Structure 1
């Protein structure tokens, strides 16, 4: 008997901000994952945006899969309420498990860790390692400077148009989710 699983969305976001607007954004994303009947794949922390995201997804009935390297179990307070908590040896293993378990990727505001995850996933897609959709939900312009720079890099011949076309950058939650689901 073959059982189908729910569409799995990997979300990259901050594990450090305390900004109430960013925490509310993460909670809205978690609620939308649940509303659509999807499951969440996240970094396995229970703090900041990562915690708000997973808590809201579970509150709406979504399954959550947290993936955390053992050296961050205490620092990011591992999300022991996850339906599945995968503890890896390294950050690289964490990212691979997250990529393998996801059907699509959504990036929310974050810092260098979030950017690193986004760029590695984007590069992997551009190199043909996966063909999963990617979106950035950016209602407050957190990434506007980054995309100004990426457009400049494109104009100078460093970033091909097809790479830029792989990403949906939007301030709108519904538009981001529709792009990820192929609607």
Structure 2
């Protein structure tokens, strides 16, 4: 088992309308505090993002926010974090999140959450990092997405070993344990970061 000291969480800037999602976000925050895991996230004070950050701060957990300058100006930024990092743009934000985190967890969200999830798993597939990526399938939220990924495998657009890079669970505790047990596969020698 690998100890994950900092986990980057990708999730919605909206709170949605399913209280199960909110409850899972709160539980995740408490588990992070109990296990002394630092939260790395998009620095917002709104939505599921804000819920997790607030709960962690309430129990004296460490929270690092990473936000591009243009979003900071829109007054969505949480100013009470342990550490706040400001970037020039969205791409730099994701690079920093990847560099400072030991793993990634995807909770329910919208386009931005999916974009972050698929970019970080593509980087893993390409061997640009070897960190675990977990998908929290709260209340069946990601059932259809997982079905789509299975279809991609069946139709020959996604290799099964790449599909299996994504750790999936319906509970925060179960997902964290799967992420700790994750071992990145060996990548082909011809695939090097400078070639991507």
TM-score clears 0.5: yes
Partner residue, 2:5:
7
Cα drift, residue 18 of structure 1: 4.0
Are 2:143 and 1:144 aligned?
Answer: yes
1:73 — aligned with what? 72
In the alignment, the residues of structure 2 paired with residue 23 and residue 160 of structure 1 have an alpha-carbon distance, to the nearest angstrom, of: 33
What are the Cα deviations for residues 81-130 of structure 1, in whole angstroms up to 9, with x where unaligned?
11110111100011111111100000000000000000000000000000
Distance 1:138 1:74, change over 3 A: farther
Match of 1:169 in 2: 168
8 Å Cα contact 1:32/1:57 also seen in 2 = no
Task: Classify 1:140/1:76 alpha carbon distance in 2 versus 1 (closer, same or farther; 3 Å).
Answer: farther
Instruction: Give unmatched runs, 5+ long, in structure 1.
Output: 1-5
Q: Distance in 1 between matches of 2:7 and 2:135?
A: 13
> Normalization by structure 1: what TM-score?
0.92
Q: What is the DSSP-based 3-state SS (H/G/I as helix, E as strand, rest coil) of the residue aligned with 1:135?
A: strand
Partners of 2:24 and 2:172 within 8 A in 1: no
Kept after mapping to 2: 8 A contact 1:15/1:76: no
Partner of 1:39: 38
Q: Is the 2:8–2:41 contact (alpha carbons within 8 Å) kept by the matching residues of 1?
A: yes
Contact 1:14 1:49 in 2 (8 A): yes
TM-score scaled by structure 2?
0.86
Gaps of 5+ in 2: 183-196
Distance 1:123 1:36 in 2: 28
Q: How many residues align?
A: 178
- Per the alignment, in what secondary structure is the counterpart of residue 78 of structure 1? coil
